[in-house]
Structure 1
Amino acid sequence: MDVILMVVASIFMVVFLSHMFFYWYSRSTEMFGHPENQKVNCYLSEFDFAEKHKIVIHASPEKVFAAIHNFDMRKSKVINTLVFLRSIPYRLNSNREPDKQLPTKLSIDQLTENGSWILLEEVENQEVIIGFAGKFWQQRPTNIQLSSAADFINFNQTGYSKVAWNLYIERNDDGTATLSTETRILCLEGRAKSSFRLYWAIIRPYSGWIRLEMLKMIKERAENH
């Protein structure tokens, strides 16, 4: 019993410290509202939860757009560690499917190519929007296979959630570019919202930290290539 209490206490401590560190880490990244002209509004204009960040990049929108498609998330030790931590509940499931071979490179393009996400729309040198539907808060996540942007818009199955995630580039007058990212989640009735709320309370710091790290990786690539 003492061991169990220690494990539970350790988990709560890790979650608490993760929240504290996330908010400290994100102080340099301003939270903000999005312009109405962003295409992500066409796919998920109403949502229950959201995570938003932005960063200024000393490069042209063209270079930022190229960096979005070419940066490699697998090169980040932070992202690799956080993705592993997020997968622990699934790994503890004795009925889980065998682990798949992890790709040596992981980019936005590969997320859509492997079927886990779908490309909703892309505006050259301005915006990329990808989407996902499923029950990703479960110990054994359920992923809905969508084949088109129309499938994403029309999907309305009770008990599931839809996620729209964009990367948006704004050209600044001083020659820099502002890259913003927003993740929107819509819960489709049933128990989806209450289930996701608990999941989000735990996972939000890790999810936000991953996105902050991605923005910094894109910035580094755009400014140095």
Structure 2
Amino acid sequence: MVDPSQPRLIDHHLPIYQFVERHSLRVVQPLRDALKHVITPQVVEDPFALRMIALREAPARLARKLGLATRLPERPFGLPDFVLLERKGDEELVLGLAGRFWQPDYGLVPLTDATDFARIGQSGIPRLVLQFATVKLPDGSTLLSTETRVHCPDSASLRRFRPYWWLIRPVSGWIRRRMLQRWARTAISSAIAQASSSS
């Protein structure tokens, strides 16, 4: 579990940012190995999120049908587009993304690792980090949390990203909260199953 007094991985990978979104959910019981569930299909394949992504991508997909050029992949945008930056046991997981996110095809830049992510920060392209963390609270409960940060490296990208952020933020927040709920249900079900098998 994350120790609040210690530096976090997310602070290492993106310490400077202009946009941030944080959400958390307290689970009454203690959870072990909760972090391994957060990127499973049971958590990330939320029907509501998939519908919102389909709506977001509709213009680019229509352009493709009309024979216009687009870099949008055949599959919907999702966690496979992120690169793993770092993980610390069952405490913290940090994923990274780089691109001109306001473009119809997201303007994503391919990344292979944390070194790529750090290097792209010098190129004028916005970067995003997505963190998931678990904290064991004094009363024995577990706090599941997620944080999203975005850094725009110049005034031009900042001007373009800001209206996009305010447009998507309400839906993004809803998706994050639903993801926390799905994560909690999956982790609790796994804990119950493990307890049953060991009894």
Instruction: Give the TM-score normalised by structure 1.
Output: 0.73
2:72, 2:166 → 1: CA distance?
28
User: Where do residues 13-92 of structure 1 align in structure 2 (5 Å cutoff)?
Assistant: 37-73=7-43, 75-92=45-62
| 1:103-147 residue CA offsets vs partner (Å, 9 max, x unmatched) | 9xx7x5xx2xxxx21100001110000001111111232211122
Work out whether residues 127 and 168 of structure 1, in 8 Å CA contact, stay in contact via their aligned partners in 2.
yes
Distance 1:48 1:72 in 2: 31
Query: Counterparts of 1:38-187 in structure 2 under 5 Å?
Result: 38-73=8-43, 75-93=45-63, 94-96=68-70, 100-101=74-75, 111=80, 116-155=81-120, 156-158=122-124, 160-187=125-152
Number of aligned residue pairs: give it.
182
- 1:209 counterpart = 2:174: yes
Check whether the contact 1:73–1:79 (CA below 8 A) recurs between aligned residues. no
CA distance in 2, matches of 1:35, 1:199: 34
Gaps of 5+ in 2: 191-199
Distance 2:41 2:27 in 1: 15
Distance 1:98 1:188, change over 3 A: closer
Shift of 1:62: 2.0
Q: Is residue 58–residue 223 contact of structure 1 (8 Å, CA) maintained in 2?
A: no
Q: Quick one: distance in 1 between partners of 2:71 and 2:43?
A: 24
Per-residue CA distance 1:42-85 (angstroms, 9 max, x = gap): 01011011111000123434242232243534642222222222
Q: Aligned in 2, Cα 1:145/1:97: closer, same or farther, shift over 3 Å?
A: closer
User: Partners of 1:71 and 1:98 in 2: how far apart?
Assistant: 22
Cα distance between partner residues in 2 of 1:202 and 1:102: 19
Deviation >4 Å, runs of 4+? none
The answer to whether the 8 Å contact 2:94/2:130 transfers is yes
Aligned Cα root-mean-square deviation (Å): 2.3
Contact 2:91 2:133 in 1 (8 A): yes
Q: Cα distance, 1:102 vs. partner? A: 5.7
User: Deviations for 1:170-200, whole angstroms, at most 9, x for unmatched residues?
Assistant: 0112221101111000002141101001111
Q: Answer yes or no: is the 8 Å Cα contact 1:82–1:210 preserved in 2.
A: no
Please give the alpha-carbon distance, in whole angstroms, between the structure 2 residues aligned to 1:83 and 1:37: 33
CA contact (8 A) 1:71 1:218 kept: no
Cα distance, 1:35 vs structure 2: 6.2
- Work out whether residues 93 and 131 of structure 2, in 8 Å CA contact, stay in contact via their aligned partners in 1: yes
Quote the Cα distance in structure 1 between the aligned partners of 2:177 and 2:75.
26
